[in-house]
């Protein structure tokens, strides 16, 4: 492979040398950037709210009476409690996941024949935040929230259990449940990238 030659002046001409043209050009770039609005933020003092479809920590939507009628039939074979996870322990999320070993899902059969989920752990240390598990969930139980501060002092704290997943799900519904699903930060940015979309 040959060496690529860069066509570059070996030295400045007399006018450029006397008038410091290169220096002024460089300075103008610096001044332009000094007066521009910065695109960075002063984290952690300043925190941005990610778009609703941001793929942060997972959460479970809970059984709260607002489910579609199609889901009500599930009550016949699942033991649900109000305010608790909608999970039916079908393992679809684990099957779709590229790192299935990060899940620990267990269910038991109650004396009345119905099924009850007793364990749902997710080890986020192995998670790629790809969202495949969310797409695979047939009852719309699993979601990803806008929670992005996931650093902890111990590995154990990186495991989300059912209780924490339910808390995330309730919190996310309360804060952003009414917002349309978005992958862009605001309407202007969306219109610039995707054109005008009418929300139904
Ligand atoms: S986001 Fe991806 S890697 Fe993480 S649990 Fe879901 S499917 Fe697995
Ligand atoms: S896919 Fe949904 S319902 Fe099935 S085990 Fe996972 S979270 Fe539970």
In this structure, are residues 86 and 143 in contact, taking their beta carbons and an 8 Å threshold?
Answer: no
Nearest C-alpha neighbor of 160 from the set 85, 88, 109, 110: 85
Instruction: Report the chain's C-alpha Rg in angstroms.
Output: 26
Whole-number Å distance between alpha carbons of 142 and 127 = 14
Q: What is the pLDDT of residue 117?
A: 96
The set of protein residues with a Cβ atom below 6 angstroms from ligand 1 is: 96-99, 102, 127-133
Could you give the angle at the alpha carbon of 198 between the alpha carbons of 193 and 200, nearest 5°?
135
> How far is ligand 1, taken at its centre, from the CA of residue 153, in Å?
22
> How far is ligand 1, taken at its centre, from the CA of residue 22, in Å?
51
Alpha-carbon dihedral sign for residues 11, 14, 19, 25 = negative
Ligand 1 atom having least distance to the Cα of 128: 3
Q: Any idea how long the chain is? A: 200
What is the chain's pLDDT, residue by residue, as a tens digit (200 residues)? 567 665 556 566 777 777 788 889 999 999 999 998 887 889 999 888 888 999 999 999 999 887 877 787 888 889 888 899 999 999 999 999 999 999 999 999 999 999 999 999 999 999 999 999 999 999 999 999 999 999 999 999 999 999 999 999 999 999 999 988 877 767 777 777 777 767 65
Domains of the chain: 58-176 (3.30.70.3270)
Q: What is the pLDDT of residue 65?
A: 82
In this structure, are residues 144 and 59 in contact, taking their beta carbons and an 8 Å threshold?
Answer: yes
Counting ligands in written order, the one closest to the CA of 90 is: 2
Instruction: Please list, in sequence order, all residues whose beta carbon lies within 8 angstroms of the beta carbon of residue 15, skipping any fewer than 6 positions away.
Output: 21
Q: Which of 139, 143, 161 should be mutated for ligand 2, with most atoms under 8 A from CB?
A: 139
Q: Whose CA is nearest to atom 4 of ligand 1?
A: 127
């Amino acid at each position: 492979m040959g060496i690529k030659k860069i066509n570059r002046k070996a030295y400045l001409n007399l006018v450029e040398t006397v008038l410091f043209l290169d220096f002024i050009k460089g300075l103008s770039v610096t001044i332009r950037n000094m007066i521009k609005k910065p695109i960075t933020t002063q984290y952690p003092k300043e925190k941005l709210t990610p778009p609703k479809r941001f793929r942060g920590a997972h959460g479970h939507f809970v059984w709260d009476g607002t489910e579609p009628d199609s889901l009500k039939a599930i009550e016949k074979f699942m033991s649900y409690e109000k305010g608790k996870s909608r999970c039916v322990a079908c393992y679809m999320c684990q099957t779709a996941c590229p790192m299935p070993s990060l899940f620990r899902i267990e269910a038991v059969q109650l004396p009345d024949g119905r099924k009850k989920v007793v364990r749902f752990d997710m080890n986020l240390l192995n998670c790629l935040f790809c969202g495949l598990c969310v797409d695979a969930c047939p009852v719309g139980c699993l979601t990803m929230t806008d929670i992005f501060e996931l650093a902890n002092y111990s590995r154990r704290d990186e495991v989300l259990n059912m209780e924490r997943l339910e808390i995330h799900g309730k919190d996310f519904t309360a804060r952003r449940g009414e917002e349309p699903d978005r992958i862009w930060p605001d309407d202007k940015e969306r219109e610039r990238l995707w054109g005008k979309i009418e929300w139904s």
